[in-house]
A = this chain, B = another copy of it.
Amino acid sequence: MARSETVASGPGSRALIVDIIRSAGPVSRVELVQATGLTQPTISNIVRQLLASGVIRESGRTPSTGGKPRTLLEINPTALYAVGVQLGFEAMTFVAAGVGGGTVARQLVDGAALDDPQQVVERLAMQFRVFVDTAGIPIDSVAGVAVVVPGPLSPPLGTMFRSPTLRQWEGFPLAATLGELLPVPVVLDNDAAAAAIGEFWTRRVPRTDTFATVYMGTGIGAGVVIDGALYRGASSNAAELGHLSIDAEGVACSCGNTGCVERYAAPAAVLAEAVATRCDFLGLDLEFTAESTGQDFDRLARAAVGGHEAADALLGRSADRLAAAVVSFSNAFDLDSVVLAGPSFAIAGSLYAKAVRTRMERASFARRAHGVRIEIASNPRDSAAIGAAALVLQSSVAPGHGPVLSA
């Protein structure tokens, strides 16, 4: 967290150095001094730690140009891996990534559904071993596992407060229980927050960018990255875009607020509107059950993209409402760029991006100072799982900079 970045040779500096080596490497210590403004001793000290941990390695020397040749440093892509798990109602996604940032393995298994949390966690632990094994990753090179879920969370406790789809998980000690079953550190985090740090790592977003990911799965969330660190806020519940109200006198939300954008733009809301507007009679073969929300929304999205007028109108309304919230959100943070991530953008992402871009160009408060880039995640369905792995990597490369890993 930015919180710790004022400390000299602290996690912020360590993360900064790893970011520079990853994006610009191989680089020399002298180049790091120039790029960071950190003192020579501080750089040497941090580089020593990173070499010892195996995160980076020396990669030869600069050709002697008269002066003393310099040892170059680069990321050691196979030294450290992290596993990200997105725990959902319909599916569980496993992703393994290396410090280089690339995804090295991916697996999709059954979700939590309505099963007992204890059993699901045991299944997850078992699945983890199979996954790591199949991927051929030596277990002792796995820095940790991050399980991401729809918030809100109580990070110190590693539990969920409330989840729209995983109700029976409220208060369940997920991180602790899984930690006892696995030989590696475990952390629990929010899917949207993870997606944000994942996009930052994999897209090589400039460190100076004020960057946000708008995440839409079953619900709507967001994550903001400031100075290369996830913005957490007072209780790691920051960036709750889904509960930004777009109508103060609007419908009541389970969160206690009224007019939350999630109640108008999220898949469940769109499907409810489909029922109301009788799109269920338009041959889209939707099931309209809580369990089928994801598939139903995908069908609707496919239809809309395919030119189905009613479906297109429904998604258009959803996109306009989301766009309204994103403009307010962007006005609050004064963002440089926004990436749309999450399974609900997998098919109709471009439709949503267009709506957000259009409203942003018309209504963004700072548009005369700068535009706001609106893009779609390269892999919307896996954004959260990939981000979970990135969270672990960032926090193991720079302890304290990311979430706390409970060993």
Contacts and interface: CB of A to CB of B under 8 A. Distances in A.
A249 B320 CA distance: 10
A365 B152 contact: yes
Given A5-B227, A233-B335, A328-B243, A152 B36 contact: no
A367 B369 CA distance: 35
Contacts of A367: 256
A366 interface: yes
A268 to B, nearest CB: 18
Interface stretch (A37-45, A181-189, A276-284, A305-313): A37-45
A369 B154 contact: yes
B239 A210 contact: no
B369 A327 contact: no
A165 interface: no
Contacts of A2: 2, 5, 226-227
A240 B331 contact: yes
A326 to B, nearest CB: 11
B5 A152 contact: no
A13 to B, nearest CB: 6
A236 B333 CA distance: 10
Most chain B CB atoms below 10 A, which of A3, A12, A228, A369: A369
B38 A255 contact: no
Nearest to A1: B227
Most chain B CB atoms below 10 A, which of A8, A210, A227, A257: A8
A85 to B, nearest CB: 23
A134 interface: no
B42 A8 contact: yes
A246 B259 CA distance: 9
Nearest to A156: B369
A227 B220 CA distance: 27
B248 A246 contact: yes
A238 B332 contact: yes
A331 B243 contact: yes
Contact of A152 (B238, B321, B368): B368
Contacts of A241: 332
B227 A6 contact: yes
Contacts of A111: none
A334 B235 contact: yes
A49 to B, nearest CB: 14
A296 to B, nearest CB: 25
A239 B161 contact: no
Contacts of A8: 8-9, 13, 36-39, 42
Contacts of A233: 210, 333-335, 366
Most chain B CB atoms below 10 A, which of A13, A154, A238, A372: A238
Contacts of A239: 332-334
A332 B332 contact: yes
A244 interface: yes
A41 B238 CA distance: 36
A54 interface: no
Most chain B CB atoms below 10 A, which of A10, A328, A364: A328
A52 interface: no
Contacts of A290: none
A331 B366 CA distance: 21
21 contacts: A2-B2, A2-B5, A3-B208, A6-B12, A6-B15, A6-B36, A8-B36, A8-B37, A9-B39, A41-B41, A209-B234, A210-B233, A210-B234, A234-B334, A234-B366, A237-B334, A237-B369, A240-B366, A245-B324, A257-B365, A332-B333
Given A6-B15, A255-B363, 7 more contacts: A2-B5, A8-B36, A161-B368, A238-B332, A245-B246, A246-B259, A248-B324
3 shortest interchain CB distances as A-B pairs: A233-B334, A257-B363, A248-B324
